[in-house]
Structure 1
Amino acid sequence: MTPYIMVVEDEDALATLLTYNLEKEGFRVEHAGDGEEALLKVEEETPDLILLDWMLPKVSGVEVCRQLRARLETKRTPVLMLTARGEETDKIRGLDTGADDYVVKPFAMSELTARIRALLRRARPELVDERLEYADIVLDRGSRRVTRSGRNVHLGPTEFRLLDFLMQRPGRVFSRERLMDAVWGPNTYVELRTVDVHVGRLRKALRANGSDDPIRTVRSAGYSLDQQG
């Protein structure tokens, strides 16, 4: 599943540059132009990582970081602080507030991307690893290939994304609405019934050759990748 990064930056030119380069690296990017907008957007959808400018209008980056750490949903969301303030005392203050890393402007995009991947790998390794495994199912993002017990499983693009998302957190139950946002995107409208159809197709492909059904249906709640189902 594509990692979701929120860029919180009030300089439009830099925000555009960051968004372009991060999307080119394969990330899904949203931009917030001030601290207040960032906090509102985070409530709508929790990012996998937040790239946070220190000096922001309305609510400062330091205060945004404090509020993120006070919320259960974002308590452990990686925060990389981006700032022109390079003094050691500023760095310590930023880290003490709850930031996971600190990059001083100007910076090399290659270094920033490497730090982002390092933070994601530490917090959510399933987002950046090329290969996911659960029980006898193996999903390889690089080759877009899925196998079960060594046999190829033929999936369409939507079923592949659906399995990728479920394999990131096996055992957890996801509602149809959450699956819609993760697989089709938060701004794409599809009917709930569409989720059921694609889950059915994924089930059929995974159960080929007489294998057990690894997807559990939880009535009135959603679906889970759960071998105990």
Structure 2
Amino acid sequence: MTDGKGVPNIIVAEQDLHVSNLIMGTFKMEGFLPHQVMTSEDCLAKVKELGDKLDAIIIDGRLASDRGTMLIVNIRKMNSKAKIFVLAERFEEEHKTRVLDYGADEFTVKPLSIATLVSKISMLLLQGTPIKA
């Protein structure tokens, strides 16, 4: 599912440009190939464009819980294998339950250190990967 060179493709769907740029820069430095989007529509277009080369998506909680776009459900219809990580601004049990029910793999609340975010995404990508002897 990588770009063919072993570099994981991720989408960063974050409405706050400063937060998005921080995430993008860090993941680039860690050897990922991040793609920046700011809206649900752009996220879906990027999912379609990357196809089976997409490894993970980091989604801002506001985008993830938008019932109008049903972003996670629509991502799952297009790509059932990519890992979906929702990064929310506050914890509400109903919100967490909703995004996990829609098909997200992980949910956490901001603030979260960028190093922890990279670790969590890396762990998600390792799940289901056979360990080579």
Please report the TM-score for the alignment, with normalisation by the length of structure 1.
0.50
Q: Where does the alignment leave 5 or more consecutive residues of structure 1 unmatched?
A: 134-229
Query: Displacement of 1:82 after TM fit?
Result: 1.0
**Which residue does the alignment assign to 1:182?**
none
Q: Does 1:65 align with 2:72?
A: yes
Matched residue type, 2:31: G
Could you give the per-residue CA deviations for residues 64-83 of structure 1, whole angstroms, max 9, x where no partner exists? 10111123xx1121100111
**Which residue does the alignment assign to 2:83?**
78
Could you give the per-residue CA deviations for residues 100-157 of structure 1, whole angstroms, max 9, x where no partner exists? 001211111121111101110014x37xx8xx78xxxxxxxxxxxxxxxxxxxxxxxx
SS in 2 for 1:76: coil
Cα distance in 1 for partners of 2:92, 2:66 equals 18
Contact 1:103 1:112 in 2 (8 A): no
**Which residue does the alignment assign to 1:142?**
none
Cα distance in 2 for partners of 1:27, 1:88 equals 31
Sequence identity (%): 29
Question: Number of matched residues?
Answer: 124
Cα distance in 1 for partners of 2:50, 2:99 equals 24
Q: Does 1:53 align with 2:46?
A: no
Contact 2:24 2:36 in 1 (8 A): yes
Could you give the per-residue CA deviations for residues 137-187 of structure 1, whole angstroms, max 9, x where no partner exists? xxxxxxxxxxxxxxxxxxxxxxxxxxxxxxxxxxxxxxxxxxxxxxxxxxx
Contact 1:81 1:103 in 2 (8 A): yes
Cα distance in 1 for partners of 2:108, 2:27 equals 16
Could you give the per-residue CA deviations for residues 188-215 of structure 1, whole angstroms, max 9, x where no partner exists? xxxxxxxxxxxxxxxxxxxxxxxxxxxx
Cα distance in 2 for partners of 1:85, 1:64 equals 19
Contact 2:55 2:81 in 1 (8 A): no
Query: Displacement of 1:85 after TM fit?
Result: 2.8
Q: Decide which structure has the larger Cα Rg and report it.
A: 1
For the aligned residue pairs, the C-alpha RMSD in angstroms reads 2.1
Cα distance in 2 for partners of 1:7, 1:68 equals 14
- Map 1:98-137 onto structure 2 (within 5 A): 98-123=103-128, 125=129
Between stretches 98-107 and 62-71, larger displacement belongs to 62-71
- Map 1:1-229 onto structure 2 (within 5 A): 1-46=6-51, 47-56=54-63, 60=66, 63-71=70-78, 74-123=79-128, 125=129
Please report the TM-score for the alignment, with normalisation by the length of structure 2.
0.84
Matched residue type, 2:58: L
Greater RCO (CA < 8 Å, at least 6 residues apart): 2
Q: Where does the alignment leave 5 or more consecutive residues of structure 2 unmatched?
A: 1-5
SS in 2 for 1:45: helix
